[in-house]
Amino acid sequence: MVIVTVMILFLLIVPIYLLFHLVEHSDEYSDGLIGGRATATCIGILLVFTLIFSAVMSLFTSAKKHEILGAAAA
């Protein structure tokens, strides 16, 4: 159970860290807005980590489909 908790925390914290550094170090950062390429990268990072999070929840817990959907949406 501890391993699953650590995995889920990792999957929730790492994308935030990546997005922070992507925005901070983006060459396309101007006037408070992120450029189109960086925005697409941010959406891709969020999508991948949300799918991995849902897969981990599905495989390693006894959560039902609606519970996994709710956890992923939150």
Q: Range of 38's domain?
A: 2-73
Rounded distance between C-alpha atoms, residue 41 and residue 23, angstroms: 10
Query: Radius of gyration over alpha carbons of the chain, in Å?
Result: 15
| Number of helical (H) and strand (E) elements in the chain, helices listed first | 3, 0
pLDDT at residue 14, rounded to an integer? 92
Q: How confident is the model over 60-72, as pLDDT tens digits?
A: 889 999 999 998 8
**What's the pLDDT tens digit per position in 7-52?**
888 988 999 998 888 877 765 555 555 666 777 888 899 999 999 9
| Number of domains forming the structure of the chain | 1
Residue 31 confidence (pLDDT): 55
